[in-house]
Structure 1
């Protein structure tokens, strides 16, 4: 394979060089679990992270948030090999996750009514990463009857739900600064995935404070933590996810939630256990296009935090893993383990060719009324963000030692079941 991570700004390399001068990056940016917990506690002025069994924590017996946190932290120092900038990014993420956990638990203790807030019939966009889930999520958010988790809200949920105008503005500025820094560290990231504080974002970010979240695995090369996620019961994380949605919905009660995360494909049974009336729109696209793009994004995200990005060990397991998830979803729907009538299957090509008709068909399937102004809103939104405006994301199967034919062979059952057209 000949894939290489994108060029890194010189200032990042110069900053990382300070670690060599000091002896090691960990001496400049420590990531000690006890110190992180103490720092988050002091900053928040709170010390209650929740008891086992509360708020979807998973109960006693080593299955609560602390067990997942400890597993992640052990893997981080043993396998992460973070450079100085990576340690800074990860320390920021860890402190934010711990603070959000403290603030949410405090709010839920004071506002027991939050658990009674409805989350009725959410629309959930799923599909393989890079299959068009983000743009569909953004288009569905145009419906005035809908609300979505936006980037700034998922990073500052208590401020979003209960803060006054000054608190909200400060939280938005803080998150905008973090997102801008991501792009400063790796400018080409913006060509791969458009980020913005006010944009709809993956709802999987809501599970970050549980430390049972694919988000942690996606940004770090931690094989042992990924194995931990693969065998864990994710229902507690979805219970936390729901309680956080109930919190974010306090200001806009009565509006339908529109959620999105490709990683839901791995946990559909848990999703429906917590959201039994969910309406799932599953996007389908040629895996010969989605898999190389996903691998390129994965490598770039890790390159933002480490100098050692060897993608070769991940290529074949990723292809096999995603193919397995697609086959399992097909089998579960056919066997009734998942409610097949709660799914609407949408081809990426259909969304691209006529987004108004594609979204209208999804609404009709679920018995929803498309607002009169929605078609014009969709067209105007797409016209405002032409494809490639942020640059082009270059990738190919061959860059990862793959071929289009080989990828499609691994996904034969999936391609046949949904009659997915190839993109050559």
Structure 2
């Protein structure tokens, strides 16, 4: 059965939605200061020690990025503040556990399989397929949002309050934005991105998805992320100690621009690089962001949004091309090839990773594949030129440095 076709024809000037208007009206103004965030996180956790204070300037960059975006409404600003509080709360809990249980530092992260690919390039589907192999540890959304348990030992996942809170939050979000699952479903049990390992150190690009974070973008592009990857590995050690096993499957688009740091911190990792037409990536990503912006912005400038993410994806891909050959154990996966033969792609990944593709693993992966066909929530119509005013042929020439390097077939404007 063909997926339902979804056309979003009010990206630039959203039609009034009473539920969104009510949510905006009910949201109080927030003060985007470091002091306010720290006080709120300490009040939420009852903890004081956040470890090294070197993260404070980076927290300030996150907050200034939100504050300098004049297009954000009260919901956008409040959500930015809440996200910063959540990250500091995780940092506080993590420091408490690390100090209370010194054996966490002895945990070995064994040959992780790490997916690095542009957003909207099939990374979410691929990580969920691999995570269907019960031998691999992965990071469901509920645990990604709050990686440190509120108490030790944590309850079973189905009883964990972190999972229940995640379910409630994303159910409310999708009630306000009902077309979002067609672009990126946020099921609390689905496997999500490990970029949240860098969140408590305020060294990832999460704010860029919800505001025009020029300050943060420039900071991340100018600084080596290796120290923050080391911080993230410590957090991964805790998560393994709290709930094993110790061989992980991970994924994050931001690895594409941090391959050298990734290899330094995880030298035995098998890195899976997913490649897709960057124009298809950009039009999918900015359509999703623009749709969500009706909740968090008081004005929407689609050409500005396109310019921001064209530049951002270009930055990521230049770094990828420059650092790809540093990886001794890696595999390149083209989006179209993976969609045509998912099990064959997984077999290739397992071979490089030195992991046997058992009958049990095949059965789990096949079951996930059958339960989650592409487009099960509908197929969104994307129009990079019509909606965002982008010159498609010129943009394609701009990305030749990447598409030629990895022999990527065009999907947009053909």
Distance 1:32 1:286, change over 3 A: closer
C-alpha distance in structure 1 between counterparts of 2:74 and 2:170, whole Å: 18
Pick closer, same or farther for the CA change 1:174–1:113 going to 2, 3 Å: same
CA contact (8 A) 2:50 2:92 kept: yes
> Which residue among 406, 413, 421 is the counterpart of 2:394?
406
Contact 1:152 1:171 in 2 (8 A): yes
Q: How far apart in 2 are the matches of 1:186 and 1:8?
A: 12
Mapped to 1, the partners of 2:137 and 2:181 lie a distance apart of: 24
* 2:34 is the counterpart of 1:33: yes
Aligned to 1:13: 21
CA distance in 2 between partners of 1:5 and 1:418 (Å): 38
> 1:123 Cα deviation (Å)?
0.7
Assess, with a 3 A threshold, how the Cα gap between structure 1 residues 187 and 88 changes in structure 2: closer, same or farther.
Answer: farther
Task: Tell me which residue corresponds to 2:7.
Answer: none
Find the residue that maps to 1:352 and give its secondary structure.
helix
Aligned residues: 402
Contact between 2:34 and 2:56, CA under 8 Å: does it hold in 1? Answer: no
Q: Is the CA contact 2:71–2:300 (under 8 Å) kept in the aligned structure 1?
A: no
Matches of residues 144-293 of structure 1 in structure 2 within 5 Å? 144-159=134-149, 162-165=152-155, 169-293=160-284
Q: 1:368 aligns with which of 346, 355, 377?
A: 355
Number of the residue aligned with 1:356? 343
Moved over 4 A (4+): 5-8
Structure 2, unpaired ranges of 5+: 1-9
What value does the CA root-mean-square deviation take over the aligned residues? 2.5
Paired with 2:192 and 2:373, the residues of 1 have a C-alpha distance of 19
Separation in 1 of the partners of 2:156 and 2:371? Answer: 30
Q: CA deviation at 1:284?
A: 1.3
Matched, 1:46 2:36: no
Aligned with 1:78 (options 65, 68, 78): 68
The equivalent position to 1:105 in structure 2, one of 85, 89, 95, is 95
TM-score, normalised to structure 1's length? Answer: 0.87
**How far apart are the structure 1 equivalents of 2:234 and 2:279?**
37
- For structure 1, which runs of at least 5 residues remain unmatched after alignment? 20-24, 53-63
Query: 1:234-263, CA deviations, whole angstroms, 9 ceiling, x for partnerless residues?
Result: 222212211111111114444411111111
Please name the residue that 1:4 is paired with.
12
The equivalent residue for 1:344 is 331
Cα 1:161–1:359 change in 2 (3 A) is farther
Do 1:161 and 1:247's aligned partners in 2 also have CA atoms closer than 8 Å? Answer: no
